[in-house]
Amino acid sequence: MEPTHVGLIPDGMRRWADANGATYAESYRSGSEKVIEILLALRHNQVRTVSVYNLSRANLARPPAQLDAVFDATVYFFSELLPAHFDSDEYTVQLHGDRSLLPRRYVDAAEALERATHGDSFHINILAAYDAYDELRAAHQRAQQQGCDIAAAFDIPDVDLVIRTTAEPLLSGFLPLQSQYAELVFLDTPLNELTTDHIDDLISEHRRFPQRRGR
């Protein structure tokens, strides 16, 4: 079955920096460029939605220097990389998470993209200051207001395939309800060394993965 929604947990940048004599800022900036390569490869493989785990709310307890490296790289991703590689008429970007916990420059860059992108062929969800309990509470509130089932009140649809770029078999709070029937792939290859061939192979393998969804 073709995956229409892929979750990406880009992990291991700090370890990659330590192993390669790079600064965290250099590693995260390189990682943001690698995420662009992955997005392009996924779109080439007919994936329509990608949800990228940028920061959980728990991640915000990290030291300020580490967080600044993430924020700087993500602002670069929003303001330069995405506009340079995708046509605003063909894709949309949406930020999910508690925006009040994020730096103003981060939110401004994300919201500028949300306003500028209005295509329907490729959707990019960015999860930042994200917490699954917050998402569940918000969906419950929307379901009550709209008089619908809570399953229909989530902004992000079910995920078919989750790719994490470290070998630890953890979702770390990434879209737990939407990922309940997803294929989970944990890679030994760090994000900064991932290639488009890796992505092509993962999609090819997923097409052979049994999609029973509990049946």
pLDDT, tens digit (0-9, with 9 covering 90-100), for 84-115: 999 999 999 999 999 999 999 999 999 999 99
Virtual CA dihedral for 168, 60, 126, 104, nearest 10 degrees? -160
For residue 36, is it within any domain? Answer: yes
Count of structural domains, the chain: 1
Residue 215 counted as domain residue: no
What integer best gives the mean pLDDT of the chain? 94
pLDDT tens digits for range 38-79: 999 999 999 999 999 999 999 999 999 999 999 999 999 999
pLDDT band at 209; cut points 50, 70, 90 = confident
The answer to whether residue 170 sits within a structural domain is yes
- Stretch 193-206: mean pLDDT, rounded? 95
Long-range contacts of 205-214 (CB under 8 A, 24+ apart): 206/1, 206/3, 206/160, 206/161, 207/1, 207/2, 207/3, 209/1, 209/183, 211/1, 211/160, 213/181, 214/181
Residue 89, sorted as left (phi over 0), alpha (psi -120 to 50) or beta, turns out to be alpha
Q: What is the pTM of this model?
A: 0.94
CB 35 within 8 A of CB 127: no
* pLDDT at res. 215: 54
Q: Is residue 213 part of a domain?
A: no
* Contact call for residues 159 and 178 (beta carbons, < 8 A): yes
Alpha-carbon span 126 to 94, nearest angstrom: 6
Domain hosting residue 48, numbered range: 5-207
| pLDDT one-digit tens code per residue, 117-127 | 999 999 999 99
Instruction: Give the tens place of pLDDT for each residue, 8-31.
Output: 999 989 999 999 999 999 999 999
Residue 31 in any domain: the answer is: yes
Task: Say what the pLDDT of residue 210 is.
Answer: 72
pLDDT of amino acid 1: 74
Rounded CA gap, 60 and 66, in Å? 10
C-alpha torsion sign, points 157, 158, 159, 160: negative
Identify the CATH number of the domain in which residue 128 sits.
3.40.1180.10
State the pLDDT at residue 212: 61
Residue 212, in any domain of the structure: no
Residue with token string 């049994």:
210
Judge whether 69 lies within some domain.
yes
Query: 205: how many CB neighbours lie within 10 A of its CB?
Result: 12
| Alpha carbon of residue 35 to chain centroid | 9
- Please give the residue that has the higher pLDDT: either 215 or 107: 107
Is 58 domain-assigned? yes
